[in-house]
């Protein structure tokens, strides 16, 4: 033994070796083999929950599950959102004139039905002016009733072109009273008069956080563009206003944005955005072009005003809330509505409130009621001293507009409308003064949508 110790001392230096860090063998084994894990004991039973559960045996006969072809992605939504504008079963109504450029601005066409020309129907469809909740699908062709308020609005539009000044208007009124439809009439009037129409079909699409957004560099406070939405909007604008845009040359130089040839038109500009990154700069360029003197008049419309006057669902990079007016597209609209952006060729900015899909915006309510009282010469309501949610930006955005209130139609207009329904074969009862008065009263004194509900969407036929 002693000799062995001596040998070791010979072989190694006498200096004591620093203790090495030895790899832990157990962990190494565990890394390369699962055997120990598998052979591990079952987990310890600590409570009643850990006990193995009895699986219930079912004696129920399994139903025969027939393989059904499931609808593809987006198919159901497309079915829900589809817009049907004609019904071949309905009788064609004869003796109704087509809308012409000046028809709706004339006083004598008040209280008459008019057919929307097919070309305008296509354009309106491109603008997404028709809504699923409207009853276009019952009739052979889209027709509209020109009511008193329509004529009033259209003559204001006409005046705006003469004055070279924007007509800024908010349509309001009770639910189903025809605000969206009046918006549609304004759009068809503008299309017939070769204006450029830009329509934002639902205000909520912009602020409910369902479309992509991206910050715009070098803005303080930070602003946001919505590239995908803007691209779609640009394409819709092009589709609806193709004829006008194609004959309007550019006035400014956009070479830093796109490579357009000399003598390019607005249509070329609108088409130059192929990808969503360039959508907002292009849209903004198009808007700048349209606000230059010498271009065609513009109609800018939006439905669902309350949704763009709130704090949006978006957040900035530091997770602060974003006011809807910081979204550039909304801001474009709001600037036009407040008069900050001038329309030197005339034109109009019209926003419609919605009563179904809305929420309480104190500032909006206040300013609209004040404007309405001011127009009617009544006493202007004062702000509520205890209300804490007033929003000055909203107030400033709306304070320069006029308010047009829509309520029920008169009995004569109701009669014309019901005669049209009858002629289309949708209303089978005898149409006399009594029937008209009945439906008029059932429809909340001539609220068109309610009258429709009472006479077309009912079991009583």
CA distance 408 to 427: 20
CA distance 237 to 240: 5
- Sheet hosting strand 347-352, strand order edge to edge: 196-200, 298-303, 347-352, 166-173, 402-406
CA distance 427 to 445: 19
Choose between 64 and 318: whose C-beta lies nearer to other proteins: 64
Q: Which of 33, 84, 375, 384 binds other proteins (CB under 8 A)?
A: 84
Choose between 71 and 381: whose C-beta lies nearer to other proteins: 71
Interaction between residue 441 and other proteins (CB under 8 A): no
CB of residue 60 vs other proteins: minimum separation in angstroms?
Answer: 18
Interaction between residue 49 and other proteins (CB under 8 A): no
Question: Across 368-426, where does the E strand assignment appear?
Answer: 402-406
- Answer yes or no: are the C-beta atoms of 172 and 406 closer than 8 Å: yes
CA distance 11 to 235: 88
Binding region for other proteins (CB under 8 A) out of 118-126, 168-176, 313-321, 452-460: 452-460
The pairing of strands 298-303 and 347-352 is parallel
Choose between 15 and 68: whose C-beta lies nearer to other proteins: 68
Give backbone dihedrals phi and psi of 108, rounded to 5 degrees, phi first. Answer: -75, -15
Interaction between residue 91 and other proteins (CB under 8 A): yes
Question: Helix (H, G, I), strand (E, B), or coil: what is residue 402?
Answer: strand
Choose between 318 and 356: whose C-beta lies nearer to other proteins: 356
Site residues for other proteins, 129-158, by CB under 8 A, read 137-138
Interaction between residue 71 and other proteins (CB under 8 A): yes
Close Cβ partners of 424 (under 8 Å, ≥ 6 residues apart): 90, 91, 93, 138, 139, 140
How many C-beta atoms surround the C-beta of residue 429 within 10 A?
A: 13
**Contact mark string toward other proteins, 342..371, x via CB under 8 A:** ------------------------------
Q: Which of 57, 62, 80, 256 binds other proteins (CB under 8 A)?
A: 80
Q: Which of 41, 68, 385, 430 binds other proteins (CB under 8 A)?
A: 68
For residue 305, the 8-state DSSP code is G
Interaction between residue 461 and other proteins (CB under 8 A): yes
CB of residue 83 vs other proteins: minimum separation in angstroms?
Answer: 13
Choose between 24 and 65: whose C-beta lies nearer to other proteins: 65
Size of the site for other proteins (CB under 8 A): 24
Q: Say which residue the tokens 């009770």 belong to.
A: 174
Chain centre to alpha carbon of residue 155: 27
Q: Which of 75, 97, 118, 412 binds other proteins (CB under 8 A)?
A: 75
CA distance 269 to 263: 11
> Nearest-5° angle of CA 137, CA 140, CA 143?
85
**Contact mark string toward other proteins, 396..435, x via CB under 8 A:** -----------------------------xx-x-------
Q: Which of 53, 57, 61, 460 binds other proteins (CB under 8 A)?
A: 460
Positions that interact with other proteins (CB under 8 A): 68, 71, 75-77, 79-80, 84, 87-91, 137-138, 425-426, 428, 456-461
């Amino acid at each position: 033994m002693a000799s062995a110790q001596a040998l070791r001392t010979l072989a190694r230096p006498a200096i004591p070796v620093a203790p090495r860090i030895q790899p832990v063998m157990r962990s190494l084994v565990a890394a390369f083999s699962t055997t120990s894990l598998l052979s591990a004991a079952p987990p310890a039973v600590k409570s009643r929950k850990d006990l193995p559960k009895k699986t219930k045996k079912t004696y129920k006969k399994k139903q025969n599950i027939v393989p059904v072809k499931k609808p593809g992605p987006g198919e159901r939504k497309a079915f829900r959102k589809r817009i049907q504008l004609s019904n071949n079963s309905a009788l064609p109504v004869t003796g109704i004139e087509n809308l012409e450029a000046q028809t709706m601005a004339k006083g004598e066409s008040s209280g008459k039905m008019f057919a929307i020309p097919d070309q305008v129907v296509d354009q309106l469809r491109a603008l997404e002016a028709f809504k699923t909740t409207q009853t276009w699908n019952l009739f052979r062709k889209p027709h509209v009733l020109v009511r008193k308020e329509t004529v009033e609005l259209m003559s204001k539009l006409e005046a705006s072109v003469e004055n070279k000044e924007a007509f800024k208007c908010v349509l309001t009124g009770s639910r189903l009273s025809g605000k969206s439809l009046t918006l549609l009439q304004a759009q068809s009037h503008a299309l017939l008069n070769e204006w450029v129409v830009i329509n934002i079909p639902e205000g909520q699409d912009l602020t409910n956080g369902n479309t992509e957004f991206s910050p715009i560099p070098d803005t303080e406070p930070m602003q946001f563009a919505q590239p995908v939405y803007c691209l779609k909007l640009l394409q819709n604008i092009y589709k609806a206003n193709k004829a006008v845009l194609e004959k309007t040359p550019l006035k400014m130089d956009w070479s830093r944005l796109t490579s357009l040839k000399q003598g390019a038109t607005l249509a070329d500009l609108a088409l130059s955005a192929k990808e969503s990154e360039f959508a907002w700069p292009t849209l903004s360029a198009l808007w700048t072009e349209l606000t230059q003197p010498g271009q065609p008049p513009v109609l800018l419309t939006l439905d669902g005003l309350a949704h763009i006057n709130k704090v949006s669902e978006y957040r900035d990079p530091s997770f602060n809330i974003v006011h809807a007016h910081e979204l550039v597209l909304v801001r474009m609209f709001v600037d036009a509505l407040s008069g900050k952006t001038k329309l030197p060729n005339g034109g109009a900015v019209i926003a419609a409130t919605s009563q179904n899909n809305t929420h309480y915006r104190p500032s909006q309510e206040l300013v609209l009621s004040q404007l309405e009282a001011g127009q009617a010469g009544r006493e202007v309501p004062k702000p509520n001293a205890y209300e804490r949610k007033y929003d000055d930006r909203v107030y400033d955005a709306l304070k320069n507009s006029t308010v047009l209130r829509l309520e029920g139609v008169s009995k004569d207009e109701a009669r014309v409308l019901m005669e049209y329904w009858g002629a289309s074969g949708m209303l089978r009862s005898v149409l006399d003064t009594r029937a008209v008065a009945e439906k008029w009263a059932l429809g909340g004194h001539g609220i068109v949508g309610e009258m429709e509900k009472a006479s077309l969407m009912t079991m009583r036929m």
